[in-house]
Amino acid sequence: MVERVGAARRPGAVSLLADSLQCEGRSLLKSFVSRAVLRGESVRVLALEVSPEEFVCGLDEEVRGRLQIDDGFTDPLCWGGGDPSPLERFVSGQLEGPGPQLLVLDSLSWLLLRLGPVAVCQRLRQLQRGARHTGLRVLGLLHADLHPPRLLEVVGQSASALVTLTTDPRPPRLGHGCPPHAVATTCITGPSGRVTRTVEYITVDEGLHVRVSGEGIGPERGPQGDVSSVDPAANLTFNLRVTAEERRAREGLVLPFHLPPARKASLLQAAGGGAGGGGRIFYTPDTGDDFDPEDPDDDLDI
């Protein structure tokens, strides 16, 4: 999904990358820029937060040669005279050149803080409307820490794609040697109004290539939902499981009031075969006793 944002070709598409202090987005911005230049588009960068030299470091020679950078960093208010200030240039429209272009704003936060959200949103909307004739696309970097979340939502909704970068909540895997991941939440608003939202792990490496790694995790199980679970079975005063010897011993145990067949047979044998020993009963019938030796008790079955 992040690839789609970088490869967007629709005229009038406004793509925004929102980063934060923990997770920077300028490397992703540079990777999109270099990819656009290598595709053959004319790219114009308005460098407001970092100097042009710092912006191009990390980019290839070929890309550097074909990139057009407007310096708004060294003299933002034009005290040195001469060129119009970057604010005026953004507002009044001296940025568009002939032919389809990609306009890169580094950063949109700088403009939002100075011009105000109303002017910036209206100007972006104006650029989108004019893009039907000029074919202009806009790519901007936004710092989420600098603005209230409501403002981010409003600006994000006026854009056609918003990629929010947050830190990877998983603990870093030592020994792999790969740079840290970031979690990218991409919201793309299609022309029909359909919104698609995906969450992925991305990495931008030294050569400014974006690697989308890991499965796309669902929006419900986002980074905020990953709480380290405490094992409730630890530190108990009783056993939850039985080992093999304990189980065997338990099965071999004879219960006190349970009469197993072996014991029953031995008792009976002792009773039946112990005529010469064991307990015997001698009975002397009384006078009133009805003793009939030919009439055994046949309702007793032993």
Partner 1 sequence: MATRAGTSFQRRARSKRAPVPGTRPSLHNGQLLLSTGVPSLDYLIGGGLAVGTLLLVEEDRYESYSRMLLKYFVAEGIVCGHSLLIASAKDHPEEILQTALTSSSRFGHYYDVSKTMSPELQHSVNCHSFFQPDEVPLDLAAAEFSNMNFGYVKLLRAIQRVIREEGFDGSSPQTKQRNILRIGIHSLGSVLWGDDVGLNENPESAYSLTRFLYALRGLLRTSLSACMITVPAYLIQNKAVIGRVVKLSDTVIGLESFNASERETNPIYKDYHGLFHVRQLPRLNCLISDVPDTKDLAFKLKRKLFTIERLHLPPDLSDTVSRSSKQDVAESAKLLSSGCGGVASGNKHLDF
> Pattern of binders to partner 1 over 127-146, x per CB under 8 A?
--x-----------------
Cβ at position 136, least distance to partner 1 in Å: 17
- Nearest to partner 1 of 50, 119 (CB atom): 119
CB of 214 to partner 1, least distance (A): 20
Site string for partner 1, 17-56 (x = CB under 8 A): ----------------------------------------
Indicate the residue among 129 and 211 with the shorter CB distance to partner 1.
129
Q: How far is the CB of 134 from partner 1 (least distance, A)?
A: 17
Q: Is 122 in the site for partner 1 (CB under 8 A)?
A: yes
Instruction: Please state the closest distance from residue 4 (CB atom) to partner 1, in A.
Output: 15
For the chain, give the secondary structure using H, E and C.
CHHHHHCCCCCCCEEEEEECCCCCCHHHHHHHHHHHHHHCCEEEEEECCCCHHHHHCCCCHHHHHHCEEEECCCCCCCCCCCCCCHHHHHHHCCCCCCCCEEEEEECHHHHHHHHCHHHHHHHHHHHHHHHHHHCCEEEEEEEHHHCCHHHHHHHHHHCCEEEEEEECCCCCCCCCCCCCCEEEEEEEECCCCCEEEEEEEEEECCCCCEEEECCCCCCCCCHHHCCCCCCCCCCCCCCCCCCHHHHHHHHHCCCCCCCCHHHHHHHHHHHHHCCCCCCCCCCCCCCCCCCCCCCCCCCCCC
**Among 44, 89, 114, 123, which residue sits at the site for partner 1 (rule: CB under 8 A)?**
123
Interaction site with partner 1 (CB under 8 A): 91, 116-119, 121-123, 125-126, 129, 148, 150-151, 153-154, 157-158, 187, 189, 193-197, 218-220
